[in-house]
């Protein structure tokens, strides 16, 4: 075992605050980013939970929930394209939901095809729900939003002053940032949205490509082909998903808030870790002074402190990972989804490890103060 590790193990209580500080920073960064990922993932649910390869929307559409009406005539434009297998109109628009008791909520109405191979129907809409939605002016909401919307299955509510009946519910926790998702058939959507959407207009055209792997190429080529008309934007579903999340991330300035919080966590971690390493080095100053007296170069001591900071960082990160997963699991118990992709875990671990090494550099000021003469005073 190397000398740094031996020291760390022997003086565990001394180094624990530093290890804890690194773990705290890693947990804070991972959970903050995870929460944010989870939060903004809901903004792209209509894209992520459907089967379309390519989305066509209004020019420069910023996010899936901000699509403006486009003429239905666009459909004939792309339907004949040899790269396209299926084209499907799709409605999505904000609406004013009036509860049976009179209260109101903002909702996002989604009207799509109800066929088995529908491109716009979210995967959580079961065949039974889709069958129920064939009833005119019927809607389905998610169980997680039903209470906010003030309805039970079978109740009536109003959207844009149009009376609708709740015929079922999904149970996938489909929440949105701005308003509850309300699913219905295309005819129902057309009727409910007639006051806000021009005649013969829809919100999106959804495409299925002959080769789904070509979605991005097809989107790029169509954008090029139709660029002169300035009347639509074509994106692959993954592009549209990312664009929707990024829009809300920037729009809400949550990214900046995240940056500040993460920076604060890193600062706290760096201060505690550097103080821990500083105190540990000062405590061993006389032993180090002997080495210096005997001509051992100072850089050996410097590197020992830096290696210690690496171990403190590594143990802190290793301690953090089970804590991150445990806290994310606790989050799911209260309905908060915190995705933790490996890239996020690697990033939080990497950043905090660098922070620990940086703390080691700060603690090196203690090495500079060690003088062999102190042994003779």
User: DSSP letters along 159-174, please?
Assistant: ETTEEEEEEEEE-S--
Stretch of residues binding other proteins (CB under 8 A), selected from 9-17, 39-47, 149-157, 180-188: 9-17
User: DSSP letters along 280-338, please?
Assistant: HHHHTHHHHHHHHHTT--HHHHHHHHHHHHHHHHHHHHHHHHHHHHHHHHHHHHTT---
* Residues binding other proteins: number (CB under 8 A): 24
By beta-carbon proximity to other proteins, the closer residue of 24 and 278 is 278
Among 290, 326, 330, 354, binds other proteins (CB under 8 A): 290
Rounded CA-CA distance 137/225 in Å is: 38
Cα distances (angstroms) measured from residue 247 to each of 234, 252, 349: 17, 8, 27
Stretch of residues binding other proteins (CB under 8 A), selected from 7-15, 17-25, 191-199, 332-340: 7-15
Q: Quick one: 78 exposed, middle or buried, by C-beta within 10 A (0-12, 13-18, 19+)? A: buried
By beta-carbon proximity to other proteins, the closer residue of 9 and 260 is 9
By beta-carbon proximity to other proteins, the closer residue of 29 and 292 is 292
Among 171, 286, 329, 341, binds other proteins (CB under 8 A): 286
Cα distances (angstroms) measured from residue 187 to each of 46, 68, 79, 111, 375: 18, 18, 21, 8, 90
Rounded CA-CA distance 58/56 in Å is: 7
Among 76, 80, 294, 343, binds other proteins (CB under 8 A): 294
Which DSSP state fits 211? S
Q: Taking Cα atoms as reference points, which of 109, 101, 103 lies closest to residue 155?
A: 101
The nearest distance, CB 271 to other proteins, in angstroms, is 25
Kindly state whether residue 80 participates in binding other proteins, applying the rule CB under 8 A.
no
Kindly state whether residue 291 participates in binding other proteins, applying the rule CB under 8 A.
yes
Kindly state whether residue 310 participates in binding other proteins, applying the rule CB under 8 A.
no
Kindly state whether residue 373 participates in binding other proteins, applying the rule CB under 8 A.
yes
Rounded CA-CA distance 278/359 in Å is: 9
Stretch of residues binding other proteins (CB under 8 A), selected from 253-261, 290-298, 309-317, 346-354: 290-298
Kindly state whether residue 163 participates in binding other proteins, applying the rule CB under 8 A.
no
By beta-carbon proximity to other proteins, the closer residue of 176 and 302 is 302
Kindly state whether residue 293 participates in binding other proteins, applying the rule CB under 8 A.
yes
| Phi, then psi, of 101 in degrees rounded to 5 | -85, 5
By beta-carbon proximity to other proteins, the closer residue of 15 and 40 is 15
Kindly state whether residue 300 participates in binding other proteins, applying the rule CB under 8 A.
yes
By beta-carbon proximity to other proteins, the closer residue of 310 and 321 is 310
Q: Which residues of this protein are in contact with other proteins, per CB under 8 A?
A: 3, 6-7, 9-11, 284, 286-287, 289-297, 300, 372-373, 375-377
């Amino acid at each position: 075992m190397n000398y740094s590790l031996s020291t760390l193990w022997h003086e565990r209580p001394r180094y624990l605050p530093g290890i804890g500080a690194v773990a705290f920073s890693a947990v804070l960064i991972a959970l903050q980013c995870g929460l944010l990922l989870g939060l903004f993932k809901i903004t792209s649910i209509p894209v992520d939970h459907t089967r379309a390869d390519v989305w066509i929307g209004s020019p420069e559409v910023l996010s899936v929930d901000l699509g403006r009406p486009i003429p239905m005539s666009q459909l004939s434009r792309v339907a004949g394209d040899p790269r396209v297998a299926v084209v499907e109109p799709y409605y999505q628009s904000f609406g004013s939901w009036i509860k049976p008791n009179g209260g109101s909520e903002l909702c996002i109405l989604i009207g799509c095809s109800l066929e088995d191979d529908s491109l716009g129907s979210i995967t959580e809409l079961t065949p039974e729900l889709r069958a129920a939605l064939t009833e005119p002016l019927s809607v389905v909401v998610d169980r997680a939003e039903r209470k906010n919307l003030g309805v039970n299955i079978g109740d009536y509510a109003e959207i844009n002053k149009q009376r609708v009946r709740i015929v079922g519910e999904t149970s996938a926790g489909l929440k949105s940032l701005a308003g509850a998702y309300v699913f219905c058939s295309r005819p129902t959507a057309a009727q409910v949205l007639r006051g806000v959407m021009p005649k013969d207009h829809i919100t999106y055209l959804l495409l299925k490509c002959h080769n789904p792997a070509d979605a991005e190429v097809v989107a790029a080529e169509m954008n090029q082909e139709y660029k002169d008309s300035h009347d639509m934007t074509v994106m692959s579903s993954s592009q549209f998903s990312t664009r929707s999340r990024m829009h809300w991330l920037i729009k809400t300035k949550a990214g900046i808030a995240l940056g500040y919080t993460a920076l604060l966590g890193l600062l706290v971690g760096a201060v505690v870790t550097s103080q821990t390493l500083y105190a540990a080095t000062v405590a061993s100053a006389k032993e180090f002074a002997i080495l210096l007296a005997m001509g051992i170069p100072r850089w050996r001591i410097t590197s020992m402190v830096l290696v210690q900071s690496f171990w403190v960082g590594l143990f802190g990160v290793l301690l953090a990972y089970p804590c991150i997963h445990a806290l994310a699991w606790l989050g799911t118990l209260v309905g908060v989804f915190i995705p933790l992709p490996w890239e996020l875990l690697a990033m939080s671990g990497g950043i905090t490890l660098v922070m620990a090494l940086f703390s080691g550099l700060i603690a090196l000021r203690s090495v500079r103060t060690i003088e062999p003469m102190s042994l003779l005073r």
